[in-house]
Structure 1
Amino acid sequence: MNDYDALRDYLKRQKPAEFVLSFEQIEEIIDAALPRAAQRASWWETLRSRQEKMPQREACLEAGYTATRLPDGKGVRFTKISNRRPGARRDP
């Protein structure tokens, strides 16, 4: 179990396609303080190389969300990953 399993579990229970959590809300979910590095956008970037294993990124991806730090630096936007590939045909 890592520090971000609670975040993964929280995200898995969410239904919205997109929502924002403040850093304080995330700290409540994981029951710990986020590291200073969490203030950097790159720390949350889930679309980076898969070879860069970071527990907070893995937690988001395992839950089906990408994470992006807000431009104002006050929180994180979580966006559900679409199961449908762009350009894929849907059966009627």
Structure 2
Amino acid sequence: MPTYELLTNHLNLHHGDELILDLDEIERIIGEPLPITARRRPQYWANAVKEEHRNPPNEAAKRADFSAFLIPALQKVRFVRD
């Protein structure tokens, strides 16, 4: 499983309310390839409310006060500040 701490750090540096990153950019940020499900399934980026239901990319976004939304057709993730 890729480490998403670097994604949290990247999001923390962003001062706007929204940031859109393509999946290749996210791979460069975390230094590892994303699993295929990250490119195809919005659930991979799902914004679980309960901490025990969060997966690593969602947890990374939440730690930086963002919610994440996959845009599969564009191969991008939209991060919106909570």
TM over 0.5: yes
Listed one character per residue, the Cα deviations across residues 64-91 of structure 1 (whole Å, up to 9, x for unaligned) are 100000152411000001xxxxxxxxxx
Q: Which residue does the alignment assign to 1:41? A: 42
Instruction: Report the identity percentage.
Output: 29
Query: When the two structures are superposed, what TM-score results if normalisation uses the length of structure 1?
Result: 0.79
**Partners of 1:55 and 1:74 in 2: CA distance:** 18
Structure with the larger helix share: 2
The answer to whether the aligner puts 1:68 opposite 2:51 as a matched pair is no
List gaps (5 residues or longer) in structure 2.
Answer: none
**Partners of 1:79 and 1:4 in 2: CA distance:** 17
List gaps (5 residues or longer) in structure 1.
Answer: 82-92
Secondary structure of the structure 2 residue equivalent to 1:72: helix
Count of aligned residue pairs for this structure pair: 79
Compared with structure 1, are the counterparts of its residues 27 and 41 closer, same or farther at alpha carbon in structure 2 (3 Å cutoff)?
A: same
Q: Which residue does the alignment assign to 1:9? A: 9
**Partners of 1:65 and 1:55 in 2: CA distance:** 13
Q: Which residue does the alignment assign to 2:81? A: 80
Q: Which residue does the alignment assign to 1:90? A: none
RMSD in angstroms over aligned alpha carbons?
1.4
Moved over 3 A (4+): none
The offset of 1:5, in angstroms, is 0.3
